[in-house]
Amino acid sequence: MKRRGSARLLADTRVYLSGPMDFVASRADEEKFGWRNRVGDLLRSMGVTVFDPWHKPEVRGFFEYGVENEQTTEARKEWTFAPGARGARARAEVAGGFWPQLHVDLRLVDTSDFVIAHCPTNIYSVGTPHEIVVARQQRKPVLFVSPPVGFPAYAALRKHLQRDRRGTALLEKLAGEVPIKENPTGAPSLWYMPLVGSESFFDGFGFAPYRARFRWPRIPMDDAEDARTIRKPLLPFLERIHRGELPRKWDHRRRRFVASDDWLLWDMRPARRSAPKTARG
């Protein structure tokens, strides 16, 4: 569905970029080179205000309130399950210390027009589901990227250890302890499907056509995307919306696509007032 005369549909909107930050392979790399930087580059070129939890906006009157960086999770080392007042005090300090980050991130979700979430099924995350639920309770669109998950290094190591019975046994034990669970289709959790909406899922970002334009340095995610065909990439989808093509959803009752009324993007431009009419004598 297209809106006539509505090019630059995403201009002046606000987006929140949700996804794991805690249990990623490297918080430093994720902050500097992660997917948020790239999606942010594209959206800012469209005139979108991008809320990135790695780089939160300043809060007036509160110095560095809710600021988060690669050292933020170091506070978790102070957590304890010890009983009594001493243990309770330590736990309260750790929990209270992270309240500003949680507070700011949820407020950013509140003030966004839509949310983009990257949720690979192999990374544990708590904040991301919380943010998605808050957004969907407000009927905001959530564009959910769920890429296929594979472990080629694990397969290569298992092949390398074929003649090593003890090594193979240890590897399989490790796979069960982690656990290492592949998701070759990228199918999201069944819980997410009705929560987000079945037409709001993507199996990748589709970075390749944009790398030269934005001069993005190559990262491991590029290797993963280049090695497969992305059937529903996110970035071209965003460009189509910006050109005026409103997303559609599947109406299961009528068995056809209909306009998605989750996409309520306010037009806050001042209304043009016509010149006052003068009375004729």
Q: What is the pLDDT of residues 157-175, one digit of tens each?
A: 999 999 999 999 999 999 9
- Alpha-carbon gap, residue 219 to 38, rounded angstroms: 11
Residue 91 — left, alpha, or beta (φ > 0 → left; ψ -120 to 50 → alpha)? alpha
- Order across the sheet with 142-145: list the strands: 49-51, 14-18, 114-118, 142-145, 201-202
Q: Which two tokens stand for residue 265?
A: 């993007």
Residue 270 — pLDDT band, cuts 50, 70, 90? confident
Residue 51 — pLDDT band, cuts 50, 70, 90? very high
Q: What is the pLDDT of residues 104-147, one digit of tens each?
A: 999 999 999 999 999 999 888 899 999 999 999 999 999 999 99
- Alpha-carbon gap, residue 19 to 61, rounded angstroms: 28
**Domains contained in the chain, CATH given:** 14-148+184-259 (3.40.50.450), 150-182 (no CATH)
Q: What is the pLDDT of residues 201-232, one digit of tens each?
A: 999 999 999 999 999 999 999 999 999 999 99
* Verdict on whether the full-model pTM lies above 0.85: yes
- Alpha-carbon gap, residue 196 to 119, rounded angstroms: 12
Using DSSP's 3-state secondary structure scheme, residue 165 falls into helix
Q: Which pLDDT score is estimated for 279?
A: 58
Peptide bond into 179 cis (omega under 30): yes
| DSSP label of 280 | P
